[in-house]
Amino acid sequence: MKVSEFLGKRVLDKKAVEIGKVSDIDVDAILGAVGTITISSGDFSLSKNEFEIKNQDIDQVGDYVLLKIEKAELEIRSESAQNSEKKKLKLK
């Protein structure tokens, strides 16, 4: 599958709850493998959320990207990542 076909695909969690769409893909050029995928949810207003998942979190790719995890777990990961970034900025 081409990267251009992957971008914009709708993403569903393991309970078939729509999370958003694939907005970016990080590909390891040496290995030729997908590293991380960014999912955007919401619109272009202040309520827009982005989640980053790893290749291992994907169950299937077809008309949709189906994940092995639930939306709640993505939200927890996102909050943890944001808190880590805030701590790093405070230390600088």
Question: Domain limits of the chain?
Answer: 3-91
**Mean predicted lDDT score pLDDT of the chain:** 83
pLDDT of residue 39: 92
More confident residue, 24 or 1: 24
pLDDT of residue 87: 65
* pTM (two decimals): 0.77
Q: Residue 66 — very low, low, confident or very high, per pLDDT cuts 50/70/90?
A: very high
Count the helices and strands in the chain (H runs, E runs): 2, 6
Q: Is 66 exposed, middle or buried, given 0-12, 13-18 or 19+ CB atoms closer than 10 A?
A: middle
Class of domain 3-91: mainly beta
pLDDT of residue 46: 55
